Amino acid sequence: MSGLSTHVLDAVSGTPAVGIRVSLFHDTEGEVATAATDADGRVPELLPAPLAEGKYRLSFDTGSYFEVLGTPTFYPEVSISFNVTDPRAHYHVPLLLSPFAYSTYRGS
């Protein structure tokens, strides 16, 4: 399997973060994909085709998510930049989210 997926968990409630708009940008091509997290907080195939080598950025619209919940947030957007070095590989970029902190890692 190749391509890109993501998963967003709300660390405050311990539940999937549903409905977060996620956009993918390539350093030379601009925005190449957009989607929203599903009922499990996932975007299973943001970009199903093999990714070209290069620098990418995922942008998560966290401000709108917290606004719907009526929760103030310090981070209205979370951006995660990463490098694709093997177009045949699958890239999974999870986000653990709270109103005043976030963390990420390269998933599998």
The stretch 33-38 carries a mean pLDDT of: 97
* 47 pLDDT higher than 70: yes
The stretch 25-36 carries a mean pLDDT of: 95
Assess contact for 7 and 20: CB atoms under 8 A.
no
Containing structural domain, residue 82 = 3-104
Distance CA 105, CA 80 (A): 10
CATH code of the domain in which 93 resides: 2.60.40.180
Place of tokens 């209205």: 76
| Number of domains the chain is built from | 1
